[in-house]
């Protein structure tokens, strides 16, 4: 029997999209894979890759886009114009229709309408990976709440019913989709490939915290730095941030660190995603987030959370239920009482070396379960069952 032909569609930079890269690797073992996305990515020999070219996001484009979003508040049909104004979406639709695929694996909200339109014409099955809860991704921003949120809700209401299967990154985000759109969405975790790496022992004189990711204002990284105002001198905060996301914000974080705790906040050079686990393995405690202004992060299970586990670190978080559930299940960290820097600091100060050592050992055990090989088996079963 001929292998199923699967199109993995993602309007993202494929080379740095860790979730999509894991999906590609898992799918290519059994299926004929075509990937449509952005950027200069060198695919494996057995994968066909089509690099889309973006519209120029010039002033005229943004003006038209904003105009259609505003009109959409009064008549929802204008949201279609707002979506299809991006020429690469039309290009992706044409490519899929020419490809005669059995399954379209649509990643994130912006790929859903393209997949649904393709299904209408030649009836492939659609797997929609929603990733996170897209209507609330930047909901702390006024422009977003007024214009983008209703636009995304419209797209989901219109096109979700045409999907054959849906997944997300966490069960609790899946429950949100069930409540709001009556669509069941089991989870596939953002867990990295298993790495056979030694557990490093914490030292009482210097306990190293780590946070890594993009330097983006909406993640309130200054709040993590504020924790250092209240911690014991044995704690050091390491920040491995990508400054290009927002250079001004990155500079602001450096100024805050120099003012609050110049000798105990260390800024590290970022490394490629494939090197993160090895790079952070020498640290002791991972902190994914502190201040969480939106429900999307409140229920998230981000890449960095599983990176900490794979790196054999203890994990300490504010009260975020999706992460807390896993931390408590595997006994690999603790949850502070509130999202305040002082609450997090008091929790950290209370930790003993013996506790940290135990949490790190339990992370090492959890890594044998919470890894890409096990999570991607879920994806392979979905592909096989979509007929």
Q: Which CATH number goes with the domain that contains 315?
A: 3.40.50.2000
Question: Does residue 166 share a domain with residue 68?
Answer: yes
Whether 260 is covered by a domain: the verdict is: yes
Domain membership of residue 51 (yes or no) is yes
360 vs 278: CA distance, rounded Å:
15
Structural domain span for residue 57: 5-189+372-385
Both 87 and 122 in a single domain?
Answer: yes
* Residue 195 within a domain: no
The helix/strand/coil state of 340 is: coil
Same domain, 147 and 285: no
Concatenating the DSSP letter of every residue in 319-332 gives S-HHHHHHHHHHT-
Q: What are phi and psi of 211, to 5 degrees?
A: -135, 135
pLDDT, one tens digit for every residue, the chain (387 residues) = 458 999 999 999 999 999 999 999 999 888 999 999 999 999 998 899 999 998 888 999 999 999 999 999 999 999 999 999 999 999 999 999 998 899 999 999 999 999 999 987 778 999 999 999 999 887 777 888 899 999 999 999 999 999 999 999 999 999 999 999 999 999 999 999 999 999 999 988 899 999 999 998 888 999 999 999 999 999 999 999 999 878 999 999 999 999 999 899 999 999 998 899 999 999 999 999 988 888 888 999 999 999 999 999 999 999 999 999 999 999 999 999 999 999 999 999 999 999 999 999 999 999 999 999 999 999 999 999 998
Distance, C-alpha 292 to centroid of its chain: 15
Same-domain status, 345 and 223: yes
Count of domains in the chain? 2
Say if 201 falls within a structural domain: no
Specify the DSSP element, H or E, that contains 107. Answer: strand 103-107
Integer Cα distance of 33 and 312 in angstroms? 33
The answer to whether residues 20 and 85 belong to one domain is yes
Residue 355 is assigned to a structural domain of this protein: yes
């Amino acid at each position: 029997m001929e292998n199923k032909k699967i199109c993995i569609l993602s309007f993202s930079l494929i080379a740095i999209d860790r979730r999509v890269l894991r999906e590609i690797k898992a799918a290519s073992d059994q299926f004929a894979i075509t990937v449509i996305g952005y950027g200069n990515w060198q695919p494996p020999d057995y994968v066909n890759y089509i690099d889309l070219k973006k519209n120029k996001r010039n002033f005229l484009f943004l003006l038209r886009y904003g105009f259609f979003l505003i009109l959409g508040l009064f008549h929802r049909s204008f949201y279609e114009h707002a979506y299809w104004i991006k020429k690469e979406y039309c290009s992706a639709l044409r490519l899929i229709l020419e490809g005669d695929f059995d399954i379209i694996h649509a990643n994130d909200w912006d790929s859903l309408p393209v997949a649904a339109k393709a299904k209408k014409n030649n009836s492939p099955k659609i797997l929609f990976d929603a990733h996170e809860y897209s209507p609330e991704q930047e909901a702390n921003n006024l422009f977003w709440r007024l214009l983008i949120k209703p636009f995304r809700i419209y797209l989901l209401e219109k096109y979700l019913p045409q999907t054959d299967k849906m997944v997300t990154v966490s069960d609790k985000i899946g429950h949100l989709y069930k409540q709001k759109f009556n669509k069941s969405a089991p989870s596939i975790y953002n867990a990295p490939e298993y790495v056979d790496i030694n557990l490093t022992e914490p030292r009482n004189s210097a306990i190293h915290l780590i946070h890594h990711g993009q330097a983006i204002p909406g993640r309130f990284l200054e709040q993590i730095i504020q924790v250092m105002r209240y911690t014991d001198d044995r704690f050091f905060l390491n920040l491995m941030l990508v400054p290009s996301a927002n250079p001004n914000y990155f500079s602001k974080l450096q100024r805050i660190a120099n003012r609050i705790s110049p000798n105990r906040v260390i800024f590290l050079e970022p490394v490629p995603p494939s090197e993160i686990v090895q790079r952070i393995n020498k640290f002791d405690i991972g902190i994914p987030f502190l201040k969480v202004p939106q429900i999307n992060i409140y229920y998230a299970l981000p890449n960095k959370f599983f990176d900490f586990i794979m790196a054999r670190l203890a994990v300490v978080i504010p009260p975020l239920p999706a992460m807390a559930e896993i931390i408590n299940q595997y006994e690999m960290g603790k949850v502070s009482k509130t999202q305040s820097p002082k609450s997090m600091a008091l929790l950290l100060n209370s930790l003993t070396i013996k506790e940290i050592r135990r949490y790190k050992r339990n992370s090492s055990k959890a890594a044998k379960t919470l890894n890409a090989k096990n999570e991607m088996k879920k994806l392979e079963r979905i592909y096989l069952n979509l007929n």
